[in-house]
Amino acid sequence: MLRESIGLPRAPRRRASPWTKPRLRLLRRRWAQGARVREIAAELGHGITSNAVIAKIHRLGIARLSPYGGTPGRRHAANTRAADRSCAGIAPHIGSARGRRRPGS
């Protein structure tokens, strides 16, 4: 009101946020289910990019809630059996010089 009386232009209005409550619920639910960011962005539509989804996940503090951790390597690790994962680093000496006969002995 004062701005207009002294001839200053109005401040531009802020655009409404694309992150409505239903969209946030969808984001949280799909992320907890392990959906990929690209899939969530496609479901949200209306100009929501994968980068916007990633940023919102981090701002909400829910990045660790995905059962897969978000990266393809972790996705594979989550789908393997626990017994397979626990044996991965047990026998690194196989194929090494241990247990082999030395030349000339």
pLDDT of residue 96: 53
With a cut of 90, say whether residue 23 has pLDDT above it. yes
With a cut of 70, say whether residue 50 has pLDDT above it. yes
Q: Using one digit for the tens of pLDDT, what is the confidence trace for 53-82?
A: 999 999 999 988 887 765 555 555 555 555
d(C-alpha 90, C-alpha 88), whole Å:
6
- Distance linking the first and last C-alpha atoms of the chain: 98
Do 18 and 47 touch, CB atoms closer than 8 A?
yes
pLDDT band (50, 70, 90) for residue 3: low
